[in-house]
Chain A
Amino acid sequence: MSKNPLYDIPHQILQAAFKVGVESDESKRSATYFQIDHSKVLAAVNEYYKGKVEVLSMIDALKKHDWLKGYLWRLIPPDKDEYTRRVEEAFGGGYFIRIMPGARVDLPLQTCLMIAKEGFEQAIHNIIIAEENSDAHIITGCTLHPHIHSGLHIGVSEFFIKKGAKLSFTMIHSWNVGTVVKPRSAILIEEGGVFISNYICLNPVKEVQAYPVAYITGRHGIAVFNNVLYATKSSLMDIGSKVELNAPEARGESVSRVVAAGGSRIVSRGMMKADSSPVKAHLECRGLILDDSSVIHAIPELVGMKRDVDLSHEAAVGKIADHEIAYLMTRGLSREEAISTIVRGFLNVELLGLPQELTTEINALIAMLAKGM
């Protein structure tokens, strides 16, 4: 058996990667892409999955596939904002993932994008193509070397979910108080295509701002966004999503569970825009504010442009109910333990349908953070 190429990566970097879901056991992942700053470290597909998935750095992929240029900047114009412009000007790689037609990839693919130089501006462009009738799950972790204090991460990601394809995309972010993060994502969903995004950010960050847009252009297309945020240490998290339901029978769902503490601010946005009928979409935001110095601002928007649309939203923001704390105290928990148990339960990712091991890992991370409150 060949040596696991992940073990060539320095220990500290690997440890940081583990915290954002990277798995070193090759029998648990179908493919791996690892990039540090602007350098590809690893792009590998497990033997069994060769021919089912293709994983390359964008630089290599553009050399290999002439047609790939046609996908670049198709969903996001390069002049959208200063960050997309920066990616166009200072393109520093990224990954190309393609799930082949009809491929059922039962083990998750994984990617990790890491900043390892102080103050580095990581500007990357990813293309993900889920070919017709394919089915896969990607876990991507973005983080920093533990010795780094500041950085800028800009990731442009364009997803193409073709006819009948299903793609789950779980992104775990772990930054620090000196890092600014500006992901720019868009997703095109064709007939019967399903895209499920799970975004999890539980560590402090200076600022993270993301507003992925899903364009459902095919009948019966589905877009789901789940966000789990825990903001502490004066973090600013401005996270949302927009779903454009442009085909009959399209469905959209966005569920955010957010906790703000320690002078943090969370803006939880969501828009469902229906320009076809019949379509159905629901937005939900539940927020817990743990102290008076923190803010949660929920901005749900529904735009119906046809008569036969079913759009709804539900938002509830507030403190933890006193009677819930008291109830847990009657079971023997101190007030602090009761609060952290409630926060842990509130953020529990078990309902997201992630692989069991990842669910356990994320819940352990939530438990660790909730304990430190």
Chain B
Amino acid sequence: MKPLLEIEGLSVEVEGRQVIRDLSLVVPEGETYVIFGPNGSGKTSLLMSIMGIPPYKVVKGKILFEGKDLSDFPTDERARMGIALAFQYPPEVKGVKLKDLLKICVGKKPEEELSEDVLKLAERLRLLDLLDREVHVGFSGGERKRAEVLMVLSMKPKLLLLDEPDSGVDVESLRLIGKEIQSYLKSTGSSSIIVTHQGQVLEHIQAQKACVIFGGTVYCYREPKRIFETISEVGYKACIECMGRNL
């Protein structure tokens, strides 16, 4: 498979503190990668760096998307190139309705209506009642996750970045978002990187590969369920010691 995303020897700092250390990763077209790692290991930092969020500063290495070096592109251009990120902790956007932000996601003007497809997706994600509410204001954990998935899937990305879609979410919401994400990836052949701490999302989404991040760098690529089982049995520390660095 042709590579969609290539990360080569990447080091990233936030306010002088190193969060990613000499990390390399290749995600081919049409494949889903799962990234495991304990809290603070650099999982979110990796997604933020791919998206080009300002405090994450690339100090070494590069990120190529469809062969183009992303370092020259600000976040909004990366979004238009086909990269979408669903946040683990999205901010509240006061005074802006979810439906209006959705229109922005799909490139519609405020006075235009949302398409039938997007409304149907909102209905399947049980979000129709929230479209007139301010973005994430007063949303429950499950509503936030579903709203994030609604927005990023509406953008029809080539690369879908999901930051802990299974944390702080009820079983029903996880089932709903898992089903929609899996169906999107399968029908479009898009790629995805899913960051997870607990791994429940794997019950709903088929991933081709998984790796473990620790201390800002990648340890070990394996089949996702095998890694998950190992982590569940022996924990991250033992997992890393056992497998060693295996790229």
Chain A residues near B (Cβ < 8 Å): 321-324, 326-335, 337-338, 341-342, 344-348, 350, 367
Contacts and interface: CB of A to CB of B under 8 A. Distances in A.
A330 B95 CA distance: 19
Contact of B80 (A326, A332, A342, A367): A332
B205 interface: no
Interface stretch (B6-14, B82-90, B225-233): B82-90
A332 B104 CA distance: 7
Contacts of A326: 53-54, 75
Contact of B76 (A324, A332, A345): A332
A321 B92 CA distance: 11
Contacts of A338: 76
A319 B59 CA distance: 28
Main SS at interface, chain A: helix
A329 B95 CA distance: 17
A329 B76 contact: yes
A341 B94 CA distance: 10
Contacts of A333: 76, 104
Interface in B155-181: 155
A348 B87 CA distance: 25
Contacts of A324: 91, 93
A330 B84 contact: yes
A323 B91 contact: yes
Interface of B: 51, 53-55, 74-76, 79-80, 84-85, 87, 90-91, 93-96, 101, 104-105, 107, 110, 134, 151, 155
Contact of A321 (B84, B90, B91, B101): B91
A338 B104 CA distance: 10
Contacts of B87: 327, 330
Q: Which 8 A-B pairs have the closest CB atoms?
A: A345-B95, A348-B95, A329-B75, A345-B96, A332-B79, A329-B76, A326-B53, A324-B91
Contacts of A348: 94-96
Given A334-B76, A335-B74, A327 B90 contact: yes
A330 B51 contact: yes
B94 A329 contact: no
Contacts of B79: 329-332
A345 B134 contact: yes
A321 B96 CA distance: 15
B103 to A, nearest CB: 10
B104 A322 contact: no
Contacts of B91: 321, 323-324, 327
A350 B84 CA distance: 30
A342 B93 contact: yes
Contacts of B155: 331-332
Contacts of A344: 95-96
A321 B53 CA distance: 13
A322 B76 CA distance: 14
A322 B55 contact: yes
Contact of B94 (A327, A328, A346): A346
25 contacts: A324-B93, A327-B93, A328-B93, A328-B104, A329-B75, A330-B75, A330-B79, A330-B85, A331-B79, A332-B76, A332-B107, A333-B76, A334-B74, A334-B76, A335-B74, A337-B76, A338-B76, A342-B93, A342-B96, A344-B96, A345-B96, A345-B134, A346-B94, A348-B95, A367-B110
Among A329, A341, A346, the most chain B Cβ lie within 10 Å of the Cβ of A329
A296 B47 CA distance: 36
Contacts of A367: 110
A344 B87 CA distance: 23
A338 B90 CA distance: 15
Given A328-B93, A331-B104, A342-B93, 9 more contacts: A321-B91, A326-B53, A327-B90, A330-B79, A331-B79, A332-B80, A345-B93, A345-B96, A347-B95
Contact of A331 (B55, B95, B105): B105
Contacts of B74: 329, 334-335
A331 B94 contact: no
A23 to B, nearest CB: 21
B54 A322 contact: yes
Contacts of B90: 327
A334 B77 CA distance: 8
Contact of B151 (A323, A331, A347): A331
Contacts of B75: 326, 329-330
Among A326, A331, A346, the most chain B Cβ lie within 10 Å of the Cβ of A331
Nearest to A367: B110
A217 to B, nearest CB: 36
A331 B85 CA distance: 9
